[in-house]
Amino acid sequence: MARTVLTWWIPLLILQSFLLAIAFGSNEVEEEFSESLLLKPLPDRKVLAHFHFENRAPPSNSHGRHHHLFPKAISQLVKKFRVKEMELSFTQGRWNHEHWGGYDSLSSMNAKPVGVELWAVFDVPHAQVDTSWKNLTHALSGLFCASINFLESSTSYAAPTWGFGRSADKLRYGSLPREAVCTENLTPWLKLLPCRDKDGISALMNRPSVYRGFYHSQRLHLSMVDSGEEGLGSGMLLEQSLTVVLQPDTVYDGKDLQPSWSLSSLFGRKVVGKCVLAKSSNVYLQMEGLAHQALWKNEEFELSTQPDRTLRESSSFLYIFNIDKSSDSEPFDLGLTWKLPSKWSCKQAPLHASRFLMGSGNERGAIAILLKATESQDKLSGRDLTNGGRCTIRANVFQIFPWYVKVYYHTLQIFVDQQQNTSSEVLKKINVSPSTDKMSSGMMEMMLELPCEVKSAAISIEYDKGFLHIDEYPPDANQGFDIPSALISFPDHHANLDFKEELSTLPLLSKFKEKSLVRSYTEVLLVPLTTPDFSMPYNVITITCTVFALYFGSLLNALRRRIGEEERFLKSKGKKTGGLKQLLSRFTAKIRGRPVESPSSESTAAAQSSVLSSKLLFKIILVAGVAAAWQYFSTDK
Amino acid sequence: MTKDDGETVEEQKKKPCRFWIWALSSVLFRLILISFAGNLNLSSRPEVSTPLTSIRRLAEGYWLKQASMSPYAGSMYHGSPLLLSLLGLLTVQRIKGQPSHLFCSLVFVIADILSAILLRGIGHKLQMAYGLNARLLGLLKSPTDKEGILPSGDIAALVYLWNPFTIVCCVGLSTSPIENMAVILALNGAVTRRVPLAAFGLVMATHLSLYPAILTIPVIFLLGYGLDAPPLKLFLQTRNVESDNRSSTSSASKQAKSKPTAQLPFLWRTVVHFVFWVLVWSLCVLVLCGLSLSKHGGLEEMFKRTYGFILSIEDLSPNIGVFWYFFAEVFDFFRSFFLIVFHVNILFMLLPLAIRLKHRPCFLAFIYLAISSLLKSYPSVGDSALYLSLWALFVNELADMKFSFFLFCGYLGVSLLSPVMHNLWIWRGTGNANFYFGNAIGYACFQIVFVVESVSAMLNHDRALKKCNPNHQKVKN
């Protein structure tokens, strides 16, 4: 019987698989995966490595739930929570805007605040956005082994309107500055790649060398690509990038040369071939601000491998290497050897932003954001000359305040070149949503319009420190609390790499060719808050209750007391002496070995005390008896 | 004889003169302090400004309102919207070279002076009533004999004006002078039998800080029974003795004794009048608040953010009370239980006090205020200033109060130690929260002793009246 069923079923299954294959074959657009690595020597003797993986799922309905290359976990996430766009980044270390650049696509996209940052745009009705956000944080938390679920509580996220640089009304933004980022976050991130870290460029990610760097930021950006066709769903584009800044090991040779390096010296590994599933697999080397020719061997430096292509940008050269040819026997190991000392500087954002705390003590303080003009500002082309010929720089400030930093918005002061300015001159737009205690975090969005010749601008705002319930403090309460980074963006300034060539086959470069908003994050601030005594709850409860019992009892006693009655009561007490009491007093006297005190009217006080003590004795015996009986019966059962 | 009369008249002329000199000098003292207000930094002291009375929070509320947001957005402002529209504008007015919030300080100084004058009015009435009662009981022989009766009105007004707590509150820009003024206005209205005024004061005080709502009982007693007097029994005894003297038969006196004592007439009409005015003023206040908050959540939002904030003790920043630390430490599970227990503690005492002290409604009001300042969720020294000056109204009755020196030293010690402990904990970080909490516990204990001793001193005074009464002895015999 079973055999006959099998003989019927097997051909059917084979037929079905054929049908499926035909169905797939008919679909022309396929899922694409590409990998690339950008290397860039930095002016301060460091090297930047930017891994970029792009995974594109075309818009289609026929796939159903199945994907060839696109990670299923992410597509399920998108379908379930209807995420329109999302970015998650894990960062350790701080991006050095002065030396590593602040006005290029790389820094504006990949310089992220310390810890975890997550923002997402949803495609759900307004009322459901918060629920979707909460569910998304939980899902991501599980997916990336991080405490992203802490962003669930309404005190840790905000809904920016325009200050974030993306005007979407269903946007939620949250960040966790204290999250420690390590290899347990990288492993699940790598699992989303089709070749993981087994093959191709990602095989370079040797954990010790990646985490030894000065800065590393792993980023996951997900966006929906509208197909534009009716009936077809939207496609998904998943970009994963890892940016690391490494210090090549060098021996100082006294010639002030930039350090020479190779892939194997930076990562301890070589590329032994591309990921076979990748459509394109390239390594780029960007040499910035040098006055040399586009030769790969010149008097200044020398590359170990000949580039396949050289591109010229306005201020830099790009050498493109294809790693298709590399194999186990002939691994790809790009090296750069400097011959002459050289110096260059990176393009800077128009204003350099930093943030600090003012004041001392644990009661109040002030937060100040300082914007300093950078040297390269004059060379900038992105000025806005619309304002009646007056040259101005516009800057948006976006800042989230946790509720325990109680900000007084009326104390906002703006100083331009150390001169206090009335708000309306400089402050063009402000949007504030104040924080509610234990309910929601505060948010401030400001648009400043500063004159171009400004040297420095400072914003200061005062705050009171909140006092928390003992359960609300983290285990290391005395370490302090973090205020998330402020985001400064320059809406008139856009960064891009200016190529003349058509670059649709090179995903990373076509991405850099698009204009991106210049933005920079400030430092995370550590605010120490006062702590109560964590060992005191019982003491405080008992002492306070005792004081109130004292109040209630003594006041009621004062009200109740009637002196005349008391006198009469005492008199009547003095007259009568019960037989039992006499017996007891005799008994106690015998125990004490003293003669019986005759209860006389003179020593009423003594009699009273003996009566009191006998009463007390009786009560104690009674209570003890009851307790013993209770103990006996309760243990019996 | 005529010479003596002239002297007394001169003395009487001199006394108000002296009072006004002292009052003016206190105002001058305040103005001098205000010019140094920036250096004193009193407005950020936790003893002076609570989340309810802080001027900075009021300024924040005004800013939010100007930015077309609800003044209650965020957890900053928790006061009345009417106060916001009155004082809000003054917080942003500035004169160059002068301390900020100068206009607000001037408003608070004026409020203090008005309170002192109103207190003086109350004091005069009480003093007259005291003299009258003493004469009726036969303690004072001639109607002009005023020996031993202290001018309680002047004393109370000066105590209010020169109390360091009041001065600190006034200079430290807390809104409690205005709250205190509303309370004193209610009492003054009730004492002088201006019913609309009493109702207005009570409604405003309740609107501003909720706790004066319990003053409804003493105000109704004041309007219904009249001013403070010794217990009715004493007067009846006096009358009985007089009748005894006339008839001089023991049986008659026995009959009179057993006869149910005549009830003091309760003026229902005045009280109904008062209730009517309370309703009218509450309606006015609610309508005005509703209008000013019509765009931002309306009255429901107001009640939630003012009364709700007071009752639920959300803000755990330190103050001189004990609740902030208690609710910062207590387990969440018991939070609502203890909230109920502590609020009910005020309510539980109302009835016993009202029964025992119904013949002294002004004193009852003083005790209620002292209790509410003890059990308030966000107490400040402004509340103590109010009840201490009301206490001075009863200097005649409370002359032989026990522990007064001990209490004086206690209040002094606490007010000196409190800034020290706060500094050690918050600014230096060498002490911890227990230091400041211990201080607050000490303060609570002193207040308790103060309340209990005042009550028992007043009851003892009534007893003493009974004993001193020459007729009393006769009745006994």
- pLDDT band at residue A597 using 50, 70 and 90 as cut-offs: very low
Q: Contact A363/B56, CB-based, under 8 Å? A: no
Q: What is the CA radius of gyration of chain B?
A: 24
Share of chain A residues as helix, strand and coil, in percent rounded to the nearest 5: 30, 30, 40
Per-residue pLDDT, averaged over A129-148, amounts to 93
Q: What is the CA radius of gyration of chain A?
A: 37
- Min Cα separation B53/chain A (Å): 15
- Structural tokens at position A296: 């790969």
Residue A296, CB half-sphere, CA atoms under 13 Å: how many? Answer: 18
Burial class (CB in 10 A: 0-12, 13-18, 19+), A198: exposed
- The torsion angles phi and psi of B176, rounded to 5 degrees, stand at -65, -30
Contacts of A362 in chain B (CB under 8 A): 426-427, 429
Distance of alpha carbon B250 from alpha carbon B243, whole angstroms: 11
Of B60, B325, B445, the CB nearest to A532: B325
Residue to substitute from A427, A551, A567, interface B, most B β-carbons within 10 A: A551
* C-alpha distance from residue B217 to each of B126, B186, B350, B355 (Å): 18, 12, 9, 11
- Residue A10: predicted pLDDT: 57
Tell me which residue of B339, B370, B78 sits closest to B215, measured CA to CA: B370
* Count of other CB atoms within 10 angstroms of residue A8: 9
Distance of alpha carbon A551 from alpha carbon B441, whole angstroms: 12
A13 or B461: which leads in pLDDT: B461
Distance of alpha carbon A244 from alpha carbon A48, whole angstroms: 6
Tell the residue number behind the tokens 């080397």, with chain if given: A285
Residue type, B247: S
* pLDDT tens by residue, A203-220: 889 888 888 889 999 999
Q: Is the pLDDT of residue A243 over 50?
A: yes
- pLDDT band at residue A173 using 50, 70 and 90 as cut-offs: very high
B33: Cβ–Cβ under 8 A, 6 or more apart, which residues?
B40, B167, B171
* C-alpha distance from residue B406 to each of A602, B402, B442, B447 (Å): 35, 9, 13, 12
Q: Contact A363/B44, CB-based, under 8 Å? A: yes
Distance of alpha carbon A340 from alpha carbon A337, whole angstroms: 9
Give the number of A-B residue pairs with CB atoms closer than 8 Å. 137
Which chain B residue shows the shortest CA-CA distance from A407?
A: B76
Tell me which residue of A250, A173, A163, A224 sits closest to A490, measured CA to CA: A163
Tell me which residue of A473, A533, A528 sits closest to B437, measured CA to CA: A533
- Residue A598: predicted pLDDT: 47
Residue type, A261: W
A337 has which bridge partners? Answer: A302
Share of chain B residues as helix, strand and coil, in percent rounded to the nearest 5: 75, 0, 25
* C-alpha distance from residue A273 to each of A145, A249, B69 (Å): 30, 25, 61
Tell the residue number behind the tokens 């609390």, with chain if given: A481
Q: Which runs of consecutive H residues, i.e. helices, occur in A82-113? A: 97-100, 105-110
Per-residue pLDDT, averaged over A417-424, amounts to 80
Q: Contact A533/B433, CB-based, under 8 Å? A: yes
Of A410, A530, A533, the CB nearest to B59: A410
Distance of alpha carbon B12 from alpha carbon B6, whole angstroms: 10
Residue B341, CB half-sphere, CA atoms under 13 Å: how many? Answer: 14
Residue to substitute from B304, B329, B334, B462, interface A, most A β-carbons within 10 A: B329
- Residue A9: predicted pLDDT: 60
Distance of alpha carbon B290 from alpha carbon A284, whole angstroms: 67
Helix/strand/coil for B328: helix
Q: Contact B329/A559, CB-based, under 8 Å? A: no
The residues in A 449-478 lying below 8 A from B, measured between CB atoms, are 464, 466-471
Q: Is the pLDDT of residue A233 over 90?
A: no
**Are the beta carbons of A487 and A163 closer than 8 angstroms?**
yes
Q: B248-267 burial, b if ≥16 CB within 10 A, otherwise e?
A: eeeeebeebeeeeeeeeeee
- Residue A593: predicted pLDDT: 63
Q: Contact B60/A363, CB-based, under 8 Å? A: no
Tell me which residue of A436, A409, A405, A404 sits closest to B297, measured CA to CA: A436
Q: Contact B463/A556, CB-based, under 8 Å? A: no
Residue to substitute from B43, B62, B66, B75, interface A, most A β-carbons within 10 A: B75
- pLDDT band at residue A513 using 50, 70 and 90 as cut-offs: confident
Tell the residue number behind the tokens 């019996």, with chain if given: A636
A177: Cβ–Cβ under 8 A, 6 or more apart, which residues?
A113, A114, A115, A482, A483, A484, A485, A524
- pLDDT band at residue B175 using 50, 70 and 90 as cut-offs: very high
Q: What stretch(es) of chain A map to CATH 2.60.40.740?
A: 351-381+389-527
* pLDDT tens by residue, B310-368: 999 989 999 999 999 999 999 989 999 999 999 998 898 899 999 988 889 999 999 99
Of A409, A469, A561, the CB nearest to B328: A469
What torsion do the CA atoms of B235, B240, B241, B245 make, to the nearest 10 degrees?
Answer: 140
Burial class (CB in 10 A: 0-12, 13-18, 19+), A2: exposed
* pLDDT tens by residue, B14-68: 667 888 999 999 999 999 998 876 667 788 888 999 999 999 999 999 999 988 8
Which chain B residue shows the shortest CA-CA distance from A540?
A: B326
A354 has which bridge partners? Answer: A370
Check if A549 contacts B (Cβ < 8 Å): no
Burial class (CB in 10 A: 0-12, 13-18, 19+), A129: buried
* pLDDT tens by residue, A250-295: 766 667 788 889 999 899 888 888 888 888 899 999 888 666 666 7
- The dihedral through the CA atoms of B245, B251, B253, B256 has a sign that is negative
- Residue A366: predicted pLDDT: 94
- pLDDT band at residue A323 using 50, 70 and 90 as cut-offs: confident
* pLDDT tens by residue, B273-289: 999 999 999 999 999 99
Burial class (CB in 10 A: 0-12, 13-18, 19+), B186: buried
- pLDDT band at residue B146 using 50, 70 and 90 as cut-offs: low
Tell me which residue of A428, A484, A481 sits closest to A451, measured CA to CA: A428
A236 has which bridge partners? Answer: A57, A224
Q: Contact B328/A470, CB-based, under 8 Å? A: yes
A562: Cβ–Cβ under 8 A, 6 or more apart, which residues?
none
**Are the beta carbons of A521 and A487 closer than 8 angstroms?**
yes
- Min Cα separation A363/chain B (Å): 6
Tell the residue number behind the tokens 């303690």, with chain if given: B139
- Structural tokens at position A265: 């010296």
Domain A351-381+389-527 has what CATH class?
Answer: mainly beta
What is the interface pTM, i.e. ipTM, of the complex? 0.87
Check if A550 contacts B (Cβ < 8 Å): yes
- The torsion angles phi and psi of A487, rounded to 5 degrees, stand at -110, 120
The residues in A 359-378 lying below 8 A from B, measured between CB atoms, are 360-364
- Min Cα separation B114/chain A (Å): 31
* pLDDT tens by residue, B219-241: 999 998 888 887 777 777 766 66
B123: Cβ–Cβ under 8 A, 6 or more apart, which residues?
B151, B152, B153, B154, B155, B156, B157, B393
Q: Is the pLDDT of residue A507 over 50?
A: yes
Check if A18 contacts B (Cβ < 8 Å): no
Distance of alpha carbon A243 from alpha carbon A48, whole angstroms: 7
What average pLDDT is seen over chain B? Answer: 85
- pLDDT band at residue A362 using 50, 70 and 90 as cut-offs: confident
Distance of alpha carbon A21 from alpha carbon A25, whole angstroms: 6
A104 or B10: which leads in pLDDT: A104
- Residue A577: predicted pLDDT: 54
Which chain B residue shows the shortest CA-CA distance from A438?
A: B314
Distance of alpha carbon B303 from alpha carbon B305, whole angstroms: 6
Residue to substitute from B373, B452, B459, interface A, most A β-carbons within 10 A: B452
- Min Cα separation B456/chain A (Å): 6
Burial class (CB in 10 A: 0-12, 13-18, 19+), A1: exposed
Q: Is the pLDDT of residue B404 over 60?
A: yes
Q: Contact B455/A561, CB-based, under 8 Å? A: no
* C-alpha distance from residue B418 to each of A3, B45, B159, B370 (Å): 93, 10, 22, 20
Which of A51-60, B195-204, B454-463, B466-475 has the largest mean confidence?
B195-204
DSSP assignment of A490-528 equals EEEEEE-----S--TT-HHHHHHHS-EEEEEE-PPEEE-
DSSP assignment of B236-279 equals HHHHHHHHHHHH--HHHHHHHHHSPPPPPPP-HHHHHHHHHHHH
Which chain A residue shows the shortest CA-CA distance from B459?
A: A559
Which of A249-263, A564-578, B132-146, B245-259 has the largest mean confidence?
A249-263
Contacts of A446 in chain B (CB under 8 A): none
Distance of alpha carbon A401 from alpha carbon A177, whole angstroms: 13
A577 or B86: which leads in pLDDT: B86
